[in-house]
Structure 1
């Protein structure tokens, strides 16, 4: 099992689109890049997706290879394969971390999610997401609160792990 991204943080974005990646995230990117060597910078793939996606999802090379293998296993010419190829191959941006631990986000990606002076990073297991902080607060936190409000006060989310084992 590969290392997982964990945590969340806010980072400044400069006028050239440079933003520091949390140090712990950089260690996971290094571990998830089979070509990475000490003293070099790890590669990653940023999937920006279609107009409905309002965040950037960053994949280690290992994680994107797993996605690619699953796409390749689908029937050639199927609508599903074509759509997933468009999303993960066409609507993505391969890049690397620079020598100072930053990502350079092109203007196209910053404009897509309306990213300006600050970025919000949040771990998502084998990926991490980059959001405009205000969008995350209004969209994702609202979904989380809605879900939590439907649960009893003494609810323990670990129960979902036991269900996953049963399936």
Structure 2
């Protein structure tokens, strides 16, 4: 399973090309698709990114909704219809489409933000503001994260 860690800021050229961080490419190397999947976030002014395996898991999860229900149709439109398969070139770059760049307000540089099994692509200053807000809330709420038990060897 791909695991995306850390935050990396890279330049973006006039053609919308940017380098995918080497550690992100390495996390995706075992996947069947040599690149990333990206779609406009429906909760933030950023781009959601992942590998094809994660998209397949999302598709499997969408089967929990009744076929042709409003929930299933909305999910399909928000994620699957908007998703782009973006292969990397020999230099490890992807070309981000204009509409998703505009959604995130990205023009000169991008921040790749690791989120565990997924990542986001932000306009760097916008992410700094969001990160500051997240940290301020965390100081107040002190969130916790349960750890799954380690599997027992031989079980």
* Structure 2: stretches of 5+ with no match in the other structure: 150-155
Give the SS at the match of 1:6.
coil
Q: Which residue of 2 is the match for residue 20 of structure 1?
A: 19
* CA displacement at 1:146 relative to structure 2: 2.1
Structure 1 residues 27-52: Cα deviation after superposition (integer angstroms, max 9, x where no partner): 11222x23x5xxxxx132102144x5
1:95 Cα offset (Å): 1.6
Q: What does the per-residue CA deviation read over 1:127-156, in whole Å, with 9 as the maximum and x for residues that have no partner?
A: 1110001111112321222222344xxxxx
Paired position in structure 2 for 1:44? 36
Structure 1 position 99, deviation (Å): 1.4
* Structure 1 equivalent of residue 146 of structure 2: 161
Q: Is the 8 A contact 2:2 2:51 kept in 1?
A: no
Hey, what does 1:154 align to over in structure 2? none
User: Over aligned residues, Cα RMSD in angstroms?
Assistant: 1.9
Distance 1:90 1:49, change over 3 A: farther
The within-5 A match list for 1:133-148 is 133-148=124-139
Q: Deviations over 1:13-32 (max 9, x none)?
A: 1111111111000011222x
Which whole-Å CA distance do the structure 1 matches of 2:41 and 2:114 have between them?
A: 18
Q: Match for residue 94 of structure 2? A: 103
The aligned counterpart of 1:59 is: 50
Indicate how the Cα distance of structure 1 residues 107 and 3 shifts in structure 2: closer, same or farther if over 3 A, else same. closer
Whole-Å Cα distance in 2 between the matches of residues 133 and 104 of structure 1?
A: 18
TM, length-normalised to structure 1 = 0.80
- Rounded Cα–Cα distance in structure 2 between residues aligned with 1:59 and 1:48: 12
Gaps in structure 1 of 5+ consecutive residues? 37-41, 152-156
Question: Which residue is equivalent to 2:81?
Answer: 90
1:144 and 1:88 map into 2 onto residues whose CA distance is 28
Alpha-carbon spacing, 1:3–1:109, altered in 2? closer, same or farther (3 Å): closer
Cα distance in 1, alignment partners of residues 119 and 37 from structure 2? 11
Looking at structure 2, the residues matched to 15 and 139 of structure 1 have their Cα atoms a distance apart, in angstroms, of 26
